[in-house]
């Protein structure tokens, strides 16, 4: 494992520092540092195995990445207004943030939801909320990403139903659901069911979308939240790819052909300010994944071997102190994501460390991407850093470190067994503690926090969420329940329970229950009644 030493000497006597992953970075790199390096093996061609140089031959020379801005707050109507503003500003994709009760499969009027409705995202309780959320937005013209995990299948089905109401065939829908439940047990905590039925639900989504919504990305396997919890770049990629291996194994074991579902897998990573290591990280991730899919799973379709990913700039690196400095951080992080070959990108707003972003800040975040795409020359050529001594050496070093961590997960029995051992969580917590110590001790500089700070900060007026939203959602739910046929809802929910108790794909009865205007909470509770809820080991 990498050393925690702050610096060292190279054999030539040159001082070296350490990357975020604890790997050495030298002040000068030479051809000898790539001794034995074969570009035909490590690089290949853009759009060709092992995809180090990017998953498409032309990358951004043909068209830029999808500019997907993450937004969602308060009510569906408020969020819809923000989406309309982003589309008018030139956003080419939407990304939905859901509030905590929705993420946990609870309705807004349940006691456990009190105080959290509409706070960190939009509250979605039923098809009526989803209809309002996308009112006036043609779902066959936009690509939508939904950051939702345990209830991902429910929100996807609601999206499909709203599309059908608009006259949009399911085959025309494009977008992504995060649907990455394993990382919730590692780093985030918005799980509902135990790992085994959760993996079954993920596999059911794969099978359902293969038949019903073929252009939909069925999972966005996420390292972003691990990074936000303190994971190093190497840990972020290693633990994400280990989770991905577990999903593919579960799907194959359920009888799915790997080349039927693997082309719709996608990933979600962070982009930090350490630009060189981030570029190398993305390149190493593509190379490792292509080999895993070809060698372990025998994937023959090139699309099954491609690691396609969305990137978000690093929220954890934003500061409430001197928030305007975050504009510089976000621009550098976005540039790293682009140089690393991302397929879509969300740039954080500079005021997100204080509150939900204002309209002006959200527009500026989008403009940051547009400046990179249309005013710089980084989109004129594929993989601008290919052949760079430092980037190629960092890519190789990261590949080796990621491989070491993935082997440790395998030695514990795979991602799920390692989660039950607490391995990934402990490794991330150890790194987070080290980062915090380095900041506190001044060894890691955070501009405006532990260096170049101001004696006093200028006042900033953040966006406020309407505190009456919870009451509004409760009223909407009461009206919904009064207007619908409770008999039809109960019968549909019984079918959900029956499917959950068998090996039938649960998404079909779930879809019908939602069509009957069952709520997100009611469908989630139907599955809880059969599968139970997960209680982490350290909660005892």
Q: What is the DSSP string of 250-314?
A: HHHHTT--HHHHGGGEEEEEEE-S-HHHHHHHHHHHHHHHHHIIIIIS---SHHHH---EEEEE-
Q: Where are the alpha helices (DSSP H) in 340-422?
A: 359-375, 389-411, 415-421
Instruction: Outline where DSSP puts E strands in 103-235.
Output: 143-147, 174-177, 216-217, 219-222
Using one digit for the tens of pLDDT, what is the confidence trace for 463-493?
677 889 999 999 999 999 999 999 999 999 9
pLDDT of residue 15: 60
Q: Of the candidates 498, 532, 47, 29, which has an alpha carbon nearest to the alpha carbon of residue 302?
A: 47
Per-residue pLDDT band for 356 (boundaries 50, 70, 90) equals: confident
What integer best gives the mean pLDDT of the chain? Answer: 93
pLDDT of amino acid 1: 42
Q: Identify the pLDDT of residue 536.
A: 84
Kindly state the average pLDDT of the residues 400-416.
Answer: 98
pLDDT value of position 7: 42
Tell me what pLDDT residue 126 has.
Answer: 98
Residue 176's pLDDT is what? 94
- Beta strands, E only, 126-282: 143-147, 174-177, 216-217, 219-222, 265-271
Q: Considering only 89-103, 410-424, 428-442, 497-511, which range has the smallest mean pLDDT? A: 89-103
* Confidence (pLDDT) at 13: 56
**pLDDT given for residue 540 in this prediction:** 35
Cite the residue boundaries of each domain of the chain with CATH code 3.20.20.240. 55-440
> Lowest-pLDDT range, 68-82, 316-330, 420-434?
68-82
Mean pLDDT computed over 372-399: 97
- pLDDT over 90 (residue 357): no
Closest CA to 238 of 479, 428, 474, 403: 403
Backbone angles phi, psi at 234, to 5 degrees: -65, -45
Do residues 20 and 274 lie in contact, with contact meaning Cβ atoms separated by under 8 Å? Answer: yes
Q: How close are the terminal C-alpha atoms of the chain, in Å? A: 32
What is the pLDDT at residue 4? 42
Confidence label for 6 from pLDDT (cuts 50, 70 and 90): very low
Q: What is the pLDDT of residue 91?
A: 86
Query: Can you give the pLDDT at residue 70?
Result: 79
Q: pTM higher than 0.85 for the full model?
A: yes
Residue 5's pLDDT band, with cuts at 50, 70 and 90, is very low
pLDDT the model gives residue 500: 98
Residue 538: predicted pLDDT = 62
Res. 8: pLDDT tops 50: no
What is the mean predicted confidence (pLDDT) over 346-352? 94
**Residue 9: what pLDDT?**
47
The CATH fold assigned to 55-440 is TIM Barrel (3.20.20)
Neighbours of 32 (CB within 10 A): 8
CA angle 101, 528, 145 (to 5 degrees): 45
In tens, the pLDDT along 137-184 reads: 999 999 999 999 999 999 999 999 999 999 999 999 999 999 999 999
- How do residues 9-24 score in pLDDT, each as one tens digit? 455 555 679 999 999 9
**Pairwise CA distance, residues 16 & 459, whole Å:** 41
Q: What is the pLDDT of residue 12?
A: 53
Q: At 42, is the pLDDT very low, low, confident or very high (cuts 50, 70, 90)?
A: confident
Backbone angles phi, psi at 274, to 5 degrees: -80, 80
d(CA 523, CA 491) in angstroms, rounded, equals 12
Residue 512 pLDDT greater than 60, yes or no: yes
Question: Using 50, 70 and 90 to split pLDDT, how confident is the model at 539?
Answer: very low
Q: Give the percent of the chain with pLDDT over 90.
A: 86
Are 209 and 177 contacting, i.e. CB atoms less than 8 angstroms apart?
Answer: no
């Amino acid at each position: 494992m990498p050393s925690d030493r702050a610096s060292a000497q190279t054999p030539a006597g040159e001082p070296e520092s350490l990357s975020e992953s604890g790997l050495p970075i030298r002040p000068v790199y030479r051809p000898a540092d790539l001794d034995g390096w074969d570009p035909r093996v490590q690089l290949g061609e853009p759009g060709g195995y092992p995809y180090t140089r990017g998953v498409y031959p032309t990358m951004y020379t043909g068209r830029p990445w999808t500019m997907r801005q993450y937004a969602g707050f308060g009510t569906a109507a408020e969020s819809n207004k923000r989406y309309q503003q982003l589309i008018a500003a030139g956003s080419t994709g939407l990304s939905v943030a859901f509030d905590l009760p929705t993420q946990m499969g609870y309705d807004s009027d349940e006691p456990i939801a009190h105080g959290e409705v509409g706070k960190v995202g939009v509250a979605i309780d039923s098809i009526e909320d989803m209809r309002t959320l996308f009112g006036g937005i043609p779902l066959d013209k936009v690509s939508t990403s939904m950051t939702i995990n345990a209830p991902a299948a429910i929100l996807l089905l609601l999206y499909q139903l709203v599309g059908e109401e608009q006259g949009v065939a399911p085959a025309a829908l494009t977008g992504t659901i995060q649907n990455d439940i394993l990382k919730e047990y590692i780093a985030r905590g918005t799980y509902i069911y135990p790992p085994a039925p959760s993996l079954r639900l993920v596999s059911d989504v794969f099978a359902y979308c293969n038949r019903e919504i073929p252009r939909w990305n069925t999972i966005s396997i996420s390292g972003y939240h691990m990074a936000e919890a303190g994971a190093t770049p190497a840990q972020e990629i290693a633990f994400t790819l280990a989770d991905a291996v577990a999903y593919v194994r579960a799907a194959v074991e359920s009888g799915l052909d790997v080349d039927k579902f693997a082309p719709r897998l996608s990933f979600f990573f962070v982009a930090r300010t350490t630009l060189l290591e981030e570029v190398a990280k993305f390149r190493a991730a593509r190379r490792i994944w292509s080999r895993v899919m070809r060698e372990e799973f025998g994937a023959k379709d090139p699309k099954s071997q491609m690691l396609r990913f969305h990137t978000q700039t690093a929220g954890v690196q934003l500061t409430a102190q001197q928030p305007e400095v975050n504009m510089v951080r976000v621009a550098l992080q976005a540039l790293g994501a682009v140089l690393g070959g991302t397929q879509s990108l969300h740039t954080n707003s500079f005021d997100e460390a204080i509150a939900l972003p204002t309209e002006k800040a959200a527009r500026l975040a989008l403009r940051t991407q547009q400046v990179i795409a249309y005013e710089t020359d980084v989109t004129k050529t594929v993989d601008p850093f290919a052949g760079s001594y430092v980037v190629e050496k960092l890519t190789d070093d990261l590949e080796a470190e990621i491989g070491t961590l993935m082997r440790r997960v395998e030695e514990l029995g795979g991602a799920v067994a390692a989660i039950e051992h607490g391995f990934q969580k402990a490794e991330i917590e150890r790194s987070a503690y080290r980062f915090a110590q380095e900041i506190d001790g001044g060894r890691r500089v955070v501009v405006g926090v532990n260096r170049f700070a101001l004696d006093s900060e200028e006042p900033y007026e953040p966006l406020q969420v309407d505190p009456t939203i919870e009451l509004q959602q409760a009223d909407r739910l009461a009206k919904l329940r009064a207007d619908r046929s409770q008999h039809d809802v109960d019968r549909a929910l019984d079918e959900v329970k029956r499917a959950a108790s068998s090996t039938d794909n649960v998404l079909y009865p779930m879809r019908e229950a939602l069509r009957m205007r069952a709520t997100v909470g009611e469908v989630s509770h139907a599955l809880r009644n059969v599968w139970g809820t997960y209680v982490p080991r350290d909660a005892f």
